[in-house]
Amino acid sequence: MVNRTRLADLEGILELLYEKLGEFERELIINANTPAKFELKQRIKREILPDIQLRTYVLTHREDEEALRGCLRSLISYIKAP
């Protein structure tokens, strides 16, 4: 249950980050102010894109993590068995 909640939270956060990215990109197109454009590009590059990449990585590799946990549990059981 906790994993499903965590997955739903991650998906919700990713959706919000993509919305934020879209708003910033629209502002880049509309805004003619060079310093403001630079600021938006830097925020996209340093804040939004790394956050999206990290959360996407976590979502795509969660199955690998669960499989690894299962293997570790089996190994521990095997070691503890008489």
Enumerate the domain spans of the chain: 2-80
Q: Where are the alpha helices (DSSP H) in 1-82?
A: 2-30, 34-43, 49-80
Residue written as token pair 């590799």: 61
Print pLDDT tens along the chain (82 aa).
567 788 888 889 999 999 999 999 998 888 878 888 899 899 999 999 988 988 888 777 776 777 767 767 777 777 777 6
* pTM, rounded to two decimals: 0.68
Distance, in Å, from the CA atom of 62 to the CA atom of 59, rounded to the nearest integer, reads 5
